[in-house]
Structure 1
């Protein structure tokens, strides 16, 4: 596995090209730890109280739910980070280019491409897309005319089809081919945070009722619940807000592709 510049920019190939990671994919380790470690603490330390307070295997089910949800989220992270987001292969300087410009052309200071023949190439051109004339721009890095709704990612150094953004938490661009997995990842993480937050509060309340103690005394009796409540409350502001924003994009059909049809 290695990062190299090719017709796909700066990306990391794994399993003989079956997996494609961004150049900053090392952030995946941090993201996985931020998700998995709190759940491990919850399942290992809070589970004993839940099993005691909720008989007939109800407490056990309450512990299994976040564990299963975490495994699902980790699968989604892998799909988002290791899948081609919609990279459009670039034209190398030695390859034959589009019909109206030279293979080894470069861009001049005024934005026009100049080939061996001295012919100037327009920084944009008009193309017909389903009967509609749209303007497409020339990418000076990838040496291609970018399709509509395509943008160049400065981190991965690639043009990505229906580019949404580059996510530093998974080290990958979010585009046409992995947006659905990204949306499910964000919303599932928000749901997990809310679940752990709520169940920890339930555990605190049950402790108060059993011992007749105050909130502070109940938290001192189960400090891991206090830590998880603080942590999930903080994280929820980020993933919850991001989930709401992308849910709005889905409802208003502003996502990189039709969310409810295959990509």
Structure 2
């Protein structure tokens, strides 16, 4: 069959981002992934763009002619880098962990039943598993939504309804979760935004001081002649206190190889001894910083632009309702007499999964 014969078939197939189970929203054909609530992100973008535009319209020309061209050039570079890192943070996969397939979740559910005197009894599955990371024992928590044991530092975001590797926090200001794949760009965005606020505020003060001296007027007269500069200075002044403080906080987190989630929970700070150490730290603050800024970005675990094939639909059960992807209800009938009937989906476990259950039981006996 010639290549062009495949074109109509490909056009009829759905992309995987169209059946994505989380609450994220996609744009640009699935290339960009955002949170389902982007109002605060739009506010962030508007504040940066309007403040920068006012500066380049009313202050940059004066500084170019009367002070030095390097000042507006530096501001333009910081402005461009800030927007670039903002969009990079907001529009990329933060490190979403794929959900389990139907067979895997059914196997786990079927393995949670024991035969009692009155029939099958449901036994709640184990919520944790112990693993060793760099000599430290850590617990893997089970996610009942994604039906997977979460790797270390992974948490389920209730806003996006997905598990995020190296989960830092859900940031509405950038319209996305901050995790393993985009934390670097989030940190660089904060750093560049801090420099931009300081640079614009200092440049505005320089503009007003130079103008008041050249025109031999008071500083108050210069303020009255430049109302746009006053607005920019007010926005930058209040932004400096919050943005610079947040940047300093994340500098401390980067230097100690922690996430915001770990720091809030006190994972490595509540009890400091030889047993409670950070297994993800490199041993020095310099090495921790290099790991964040210079390490390669891991590949995405979700194939957003891949096509939904029949095998994919069979594995994840998305032909009926994509929101049940990987999430199998435990109870189909009301609780009665301390017993619960076996869920219908657990009765139709595939032959391979049944074989795995029998083999597991035989090995235990």
The answer to whether the superposition gives a TM-score over 0.5 is yes
1:261 paired with 2:295, answer yes
Of residues 182-191 and 75-84 in structure 1, the stretch that sits farther from structure 2 once superposed is: 75-84
How far, CA to CA, are the matches of 2:57 and 2:111 in structure 1?
61
Tell me, what secondary structure is at the counterpart of 1:135? strand
Instruction: Considering fraction of residues, name the structure with more strand.
Output: 1
Q: Distance in 1 between matches of 2:26 and 2:247?
A: 30
Q: 1:66 aligns with which of 59, 75, 96?
A: 75
1:221 aligns with 2:225: yes
Q: Does 1:91 align with 2:91?
A: no
Looking at structure 2, the residues matched to 104 and 172 of structure 1 have their Cα atoms a distance apart, in angstroms, of: 36
**Equivalent residues, number:** 247
Q: Among residues 206, 209, 212, which one is paired with 1:208 in the alignment?
A: 212
Which residue does 1:29 correspond to in 2? Answer: 42
Please report how far the alpha carbon of residue 211 of structure 1 lies from its aligned counterpart in structure 2 after TM superposition: 2.5
Distance 1:118 1:242 in 2: 47
1:192-223 CA deviation, whole Å, 9 max, x = no partner?
00000001101111122123322211111222
1:168 and 1:72 map into 2 onto residues whose CA distance is 20
Deviates more, 1:166-175 or 1:125-134: 125-134
Q: Is the 8 A contact 1:193 1:232 kept in 2?
A: yes
Question: Partner residue of 2:325?
Answer: none
Provide closer, same or farther for how the CA distance between residues 251 and 98 of structure 1 changes in structure 2, counting only shifts above 3 A: farther
Gaps of 5+ in 1: 106-115
1:123 maps onto 2:127 in alignment: yes
Corresponding position: 1:52 with 2:60: no
Structure showing the higher helix proportion among its residues: 2
TM-score normalised according to structure 2 size: 0.61
Tell which structure's C-alpha radius of gyration is larger.
2
Within 5 Å, give how 1:34-183 maps onto structure 2: 34-54=47-67, 58=68, 60-91=69-100, 94-97=102-105, 101-102=108-109, 118-130=122-134, 132-183=136-187
Q: Deviations over 1:83-109 (max 9, x none)?
A: 1111111225x341397x22797xxxx
8 A Cα contact 2:94 2:182, kept in partner: yes
**Whole-angstrom CA distance in 2 between matches of 1:170 and 1:103:** 41
1:20 aligns with 2:33: yes
Report the secondary structure of 1:10's partner residue. coil
Q: Does 2:24 match 1:6?
A: no
* Aligned twin of 1:186: 190
Deviation at 1:139, TM superposition (A): 1.4
Any unmatched runs of 5+ in structure 2? 1-14, 113-119, 261-279, 281-290, 298-365
**TM-score normalised over the length of structure 1:** 0.83
Query: What is the CA–CA distance in structure 1 between the aligned matches of 2:38 and 2:103, rounded to whole Å?
Result: 30
What SS does the aligned partner of 1:20 have?
A: strand
> SS state of the match for residue 296, structure 2?
coil
Structure 1 CA distance, aligned partners of 2:49 and 2:180?
A: 28
How far off its partner does 1:133 sit? 3.1
**What SS does structure 1 have at the residue aligned with 2:151?**
coil
The worse-fitting range, judged by mean Cα deviation, of 171-180 and 135-144 is 135-144
Aligned residues of 2:93 and 2:182 also touching (Cα < 8 A): yes
- Cα 1:87–1:238, aligned 2, differ >3 Å: closer, same or farther? same
Q: Give 3-state SS (helix, strand or coil) of 1:212's partner.
A: coil
Q: In structure 2, what is the Cα distance between the partners aligned to 1:103 and 1:75?
A: 48
In 1: Cα distance, 2:164 partner to 2:145 partner: 13
CA gap of 1:18–1:4, structure 2 versus 1, over 3 A, is closer
